Amino acid sequence: MADTTSAHPSSDLPPKRGRGRPRRTEAETEVIRQQIQQAATQVFAERGYHGVSVELILQASGLSRPTFYRYFGNADEVIELILKEANDRLLVAISESVRQAQGPIDKVEAGLLAWRTWGESIGPLLKAIFAELHDTHSPAYVHRQRVLKLVGEELNAAAASLQRPPFDDLQIETFVIGVEYLGFRYHFGPEGPSEAMWERTRQAMVRLAVGLLGGPQEWAHATQLAEVMRVTLR
């Protein structure tokens, strides 16, 4: 009988090496994703949503096109992720700070400070987001609606705890628009951010809050309330 052992590969032989590059570790994958996100953030901050392209992201990141498409389907996916993460941080900051504060006055102060800290954390990205808050074709507009919803819920929860009627949506939106502008002005105004400038900004924000959201009690005791909230009346 013929020896057939040579017709079959030996089980002792090492396995064949696969083609291509070895798979990246999770840590390596995360580094590349962050590299793409940072580059896209830079492009968005400089050019706005309508100026972002895969080509510009590649130039800023130094990565190849195949590498980019291994992680994202297009430029919109990256920008959506960047804005979602930025707005999620804002929503969490406002929600946690307001709920931990005691009393309506402290809650207002906590919410305003949370907005300031968030603006500092995202840097130049804030300018691009602010420029597109009312552009319905920009994802910045969509995420801003989430902020409006949360602020409305927090304000109405505070009103309910004080046995007051809910706020009109227009009042809430006007308040948020005012705070957004004052925050933007604080970060990017000609004076530059400083503690002195923040105190001026805070006073304007507080006046806005009392004027738009105050009830009969606040309006009837404006002078005393101003003293409590450290607002200078002129």
Contacts with 97 (C-beta within 8 Å, 6 or more apart), sequence order? 110, 111, 113, 114
pLDDT tens string 104-137: 778 888 989 999 999 999 999 999 999 999 999 9
pLDDT at position 79: 97
- Between CA 57 and CA 36 the distance in angstroms is 7
pLDDT over threshold 50, residue 17: no
Q: Domain ranges in the chain?
A: 83-228
pLDDT over threshold 60, residue 4: no
pLDDT-derived band at 19 (thresholds 50, 70, 90) equals low
pTM above 0.85, yes or no: no
- Between CA 130 and CA 118 the distance in angstroms is 13
pLDDT tens string 181-233: 999 999 999 999 999 999 999 999 999 988 888 888 878 877 877 777 778 87
- Between CA 183 and CA 187 the distance in angstroms is 6
Nearest to 167 by CA among 175, 176, 155, 179: 155
pLDDT tens string 33-89: 999 999 999 999 999 999 999 999 999 999 999 999 999 999 999 999 999 999 999
pLDDT over threshold 50, residue 142: yes
Of the candidate CATH numbers 3.40.80.10, 1.10.4080.10, 1.10.357.10, 3.30.2320.30, the domain formed by 83-228 belongs to 1.10.357.10
pLDDT at position 15: 47
Q: Tell me the DSSP string of 155-172.
A: HHHHHHHTT-PPPPHHHH
pLDDT over threshold 80, residue 167: yes
Token pair belonging to 130: 């602010």
pLDDT-derived band at 154 (thresholds 50, 70, 90) equals confident
pLDDT at position 109: 87
- Between CA 225 and CA 68 the distance in angstroms is 55
